[in-house]
Chain A
């Protein structure tokens, strides 16, 4: 479980995150949504420890990140998996080497054991036959799946995804969303996804947090999204006619 209490973060005197608090539970997929510039990526990077917060507490299963020493922080980071927006695969390494990298760096496994684990996770993301390919030879969706495989290869307790389906077609987006959700449930991971894809909200959002201008303006489940009157939610989530119709059907205002 990750707890965030009253965090603030700014750059050059401009406050980006203001008094944000949230709780992210194990085995649940939480989505951070909001417009571009609302502070989603900064929030995620604060959780990852890439940015130091100015005020507030971020704790991982009771461990306050700010109070941990450098070595303990590095150890904690071994429990974190991250899927970056652009996949962030190492260009000079093959798919197999990319996925193997965290195990090679942090575990003392034999080559055979490492290969078994790599093949296991590649199979889990349906990429069995791509071991020897380089990132430049993969499609966007395949890169995302390799990034997911690399993120879960160490059996993380916490999984972060920054816009995992940006730039993907709707079918591949749904596939990636479902994959992340299944992995979360299977391994009882705390998963946090940054997204402005409303399909993801409807599909896999066990918990949804809406950020606006650096403030947390709403949180709830995907079902609650349909019934809330919160103006920030309705103007953001239902900005497209398609989702307005979906809401109307879901809430019974339109019968099919």
Chain B
């Protein structure tokens, strides 16, 4: 199957997903379950990675800005900018594409190969709407919170690393964080996050829903889903940056 056919099938799938849920109470239950699986269960990894990456960014900045004519507070400024603009929304999304994307593909793919999706269809349930819509909403609602948490913990991690290693003083770091603050950068970060969250929920769902075969194919579909989700995130990141910042 060629790329155009896959793209067409993907958009046809979206059309099926965005229908009114057949029963709101069941939709609400699924939504809360997905919030936990996709969102709450990702808090730990987000916090851990963000904290340490923030620390690494500060250490690298400090070691590369040794010129006495460059003010030290720029370390804080550069850390904030890299975390807000790129690390938290984009790299965090790629990490989550691996964690959450493989979960979505394998859970839906397993349902496909064990005929659970057929069972839903036979009952008269719109299986795409029932299975995927809660995942999309959970991702789109929860990821901005995760990315915001990632930004704060990254900045905090940077401060801890910088101050503990004596590379920058706390007042300098805070001055840097406050320098040239543009609220639109946060808006830009959140817009990117919402778009990436949509991609993280739908591309793996596509690969899981249309899998054929057995457990081996589900595994392969999971790998493909993570690769394609990451590729699409990188490409969209370029276009969104071009559109929103230039």
Instruction: Give the residue name and chain of the A residue nearest to B126 (CB).
Output: A74
Instruction: Give the residue name and chain of the A residue nearest to B33 (CB).
Output: A92
Residues of chain A in range 27-85 having any CB-CB distance to chain B below 8 Å: 45, 48-50, 73-78, 80, 82, 84-85
Q: Which of A45, A48, A88 interacts with B116 by CB under 8 Å?
A: A88
CA distance in complex: A75, B125 (Å): 10
A105 in contact with B122 given A84-B115, A88-B116 (CB within 8 Å): no
Whether A84 contacts B119 by the Cβ 8 Å rule is yes
Whether A85 contacts B123 by the Cβ 8 Å rule is no
When distances are taken between beta carbons in the complex, the residues of chain A under 8 Å from B183 are none
When distances are taken between beta carbons in the complex, the residues of chain A under 8 Å from B125 are 105
Whether A77 contacts B122 by the Cβ 8 Å rule is yes
Count residues on chain A whose CB falls below 8 Å from chain B CBs: 26
Asked whether any CB of chain A lies closer than 8 Å to the CB of B26, the reply is yes
When distances are taken between beta carbons in the complex, the residues of chain A under 8 Å from B119 are 82, 84, 88, 90
Residues of chain B in range 25-59 having any CB-CB distance to chain A below 8 Å: 25-26, 33
Q: Which of A74, A77, A105 interacts with B23 by CB under 8 Å?
A: A105
When distances are taken between beta carbons in the complex, the residues of chain A under 8 Å from B33 are 92
When distances are taken between beta carbons in the complex, the residues of chain A under 8 Å from B26 are 104-105
A77 in contact with B124 given A104-B23, A104-B25, A105-B22 (CB within 8 Å): yes
Whether A86 contacts B124 by the Cβ 8 Å rule is no
Whether A85 contacts B115 by the Cβ 8 Å rule is yes
The interface residues of chain B, by DSSP majority, are classed as: helix
Whether A78 contacts B121 by the Cβ 8 Å rule is no
Bin the interface of chain B by size: 10 to 19
Whether A88 contacts B118 by the Cβ 8 Å rule is yes
Asked whether any CB of chain B lies closer than 8 Å to the CB of A102, the reply is yes
Shortest CB distance B8–A (Å): 18
Residues of chain B in range 102-127 having any CB-CB distance to chain A below 8 Å: 110-111, 114-116, 118-119, 121-126
Instruction: Give the residue name and chain of the B residue nearest to A92 (CB).
Output: B33
Whether B124 contacts A88 by the Cβ 8 Å rule is no
Whether B23 contacts A50 by the Cβ 8 Å rule is no
A77 in contact with B115 given A104-B23, A104-B26, A105-B22 (CB within 8 Å): no
Shortest CB distance A83–B (Å): 9
The 0/1 profile, CB within 8 Å of A marked 1, for residues 6-31 of chain B is 00000000000000001101100000
Between A and B, 16 residue pairs with Cβ closer than 8 Å are: A48-B118, A48-B122, A49-B122, A73-B124, A75-B124, A77-B124, A78-B124, A84-B118, A86-B115, A88-B114, A102-B123, A104-B25, A104-B26, A105-B26, A106-B22, A106-B123
Nearest 10 CB-CB pairings of A with B: A77-B124, A74-B124, A88-B119, A88-B115, A82-B122, A84-B115, A88-B116, A78-B124, A48-B122, A105-B23
